C-alpha cells in the first residue's frame, strides 16, 4: 500500500479479486498492524524483502504482484530482485524513483508538512491531492474510517518517507520481463500521470491504462472501473 497507508485500504478491491484469487495484503513497516519496528529509515529494498518473506511464510512460490504509490516502488523492487516469484506485475499511481520522477511541488510540500499534523489535519490537507472533485465526501470518509484506527505514527511515516526517497529503479526497468500493467488516474495530483507514462515506456511490453475522473486514490474515485480492470488483467495472466 502507499505511504503510511494500512493494507486495509485495499478493501474496495478485495471482494472482486477474492472471488477467483487468494488475496494477501501486507502492512508495510511503520503502517497498519505492523507498526514501527527497529531499523529506520525503512528502505524500499527492506520492505520488498519483507513482502517476499510473507510469501515464503504463506507458502506461495509465485504471485501476481500489485502495488500502489509507494507500494508500486516496492512492487518494482520485488520483480527486480526476485523475478522468478512474479507471475504478473500491476503498478498503480506510482513512479520510477524520485530522481527520475515528475513531481508536483505543492504535493511534496504537503507531504513534508504532514508529519507535524494530526491524522485528521493530514487527511483534510491531502484531499485535493488524493481524490477527484466529483468523489462524494461520504466515500472519502469511508476511507478515513478504515485508515484512522490503523494510522501510521509520525515516526513510521518519516521512516517510510526517508526510505522511499532514496530508492531509484529507472535504469533497471528495462530488465523487467514479467507481464506488466501500469495504471494511473488522469487527475493524479500527488504522483502526476506522466510518471505512469515513463514507467510504461521503460518496461518492455508494458500496458498503460489511464483512468478518467480519477486522482491518486483511484480505487476510491473509480472503484468499479479499477476492480474490473484488475480482474480482467489477472484472468489474462493466470
Under 8 Å CB-to-CB from 231, ≥6 apart: which residues?
Answer: 16, 17, 19, 20
- Rounded CA separation 181/145 (Å): 30
- Known catalytic residue: 69? yes
Selected catalytic residue, list 69, 88, 126, 164 = 69
- Known catalytic residue: 216? yes
CATH code (residue 14):
3.40.50.1820
Per the domain annotation, does 2 fall within a domain?
Answer: no
Per the domain annotation, does 93 fall within a domain?
Answer: yes
How many domains would you assign to the chain?
1
Domain that holds residue 147: 7-236
Q: How confident is the model at residue 175 (pLDDT cuts 50, 70, 90)?
A: very high
- Rounded CA separation 93/72 (Å): 7
Selected catalytic residue, list 27, 95, 164, 188 = 188
Per the domain annotation, does 26 fall within a domain?
Answer: yes
Q: How confident is the model at residue 96 (pLDDT cuts 50, 70, 90)?
A: very high
- Rounded CA separation 4/105 (Å): 20
C-alpha cell at 132: 477527484
Residue the block writes with cell 494477501: 24
What does pLDDT average to over the chain?
95
> What's the predicted TM-score (pTM) here?
0.95
Per the domain annotation, does 146 fall within a domain?
Answer: yes
Selected catalytic residue, list 64, 95, 184, 216 = 216
Residues recorded for the chain: 238
Q: Is the pLDDT of residue 114 over 80?
A: no
Amino acid at each position: 500500500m502507499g505511504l503510511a497507508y494500512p493494507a486495509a485500504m485495499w478493501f474496495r478491491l478485495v471482494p472482486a479479486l477474492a472471488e477467483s484469487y487468494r488475496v494477501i495484503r501486507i502492512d508495510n513497516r511503520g503502517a497498519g498492524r505492523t507498526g514501527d519496528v527497529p531499523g529506520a529509515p525503512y528502505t524500499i529494498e527492506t520492505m520488498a524483502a519483507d513482502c517476499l518473506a510473507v510469501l515464503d511464510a504463506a507458502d506461495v512460490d509465485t504471485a501476481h504482484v500489485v502495488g500502489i504509490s509507494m507500494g508500486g516502488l516496492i512492487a518494482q523492487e520485488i520483480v527486480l530482485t526476485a523475478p522468478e516469484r512474479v507471475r504478473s506485475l500491476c503498478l498503480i499511481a506510482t513512479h520510477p524513483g524520485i530522481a527520475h520522477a515528475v513531481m508536483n511541488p505543492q504535493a511534496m510540500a504537503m507531504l513534508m508538512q504532514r508529519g507535524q499534523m494530526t491524522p485528521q489535519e493530514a487527511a483534510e490537507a491531502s484531499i485535493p491531492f488524493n481524490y477527484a472533485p466529483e468523489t462524494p465526501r461520504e466515500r472519502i470518509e469511508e476511507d478515513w474510517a478504515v485508515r484512522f484506527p490503523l494510522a501510521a505514527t509520525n515516526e513510521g511515516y518519516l521512516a517510510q518517507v526517508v526510505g522511499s526517497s532514496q530508492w531509484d529503479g529507472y535504469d533497471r526497468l528495462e530488465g523487467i520481463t514479467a507481464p506488466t500493467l501500469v495504471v494511473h488516474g488522469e487527475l493524479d495530483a500527488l504522483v502526476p500521470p506522466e510518471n505512469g507514462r515513463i514507467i510504461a515506456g521503460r518496461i518492455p511490453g508494458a500496458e498503460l491504462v489511464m483512468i478518467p475522473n480519477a486522482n491518486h486514490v483511484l480505487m476510491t474515485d473509480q472503484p468499479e472501473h479499477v476492480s474490473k480492470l484488475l480482474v480482467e488483467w489477472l484472468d489474462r495472466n493466470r
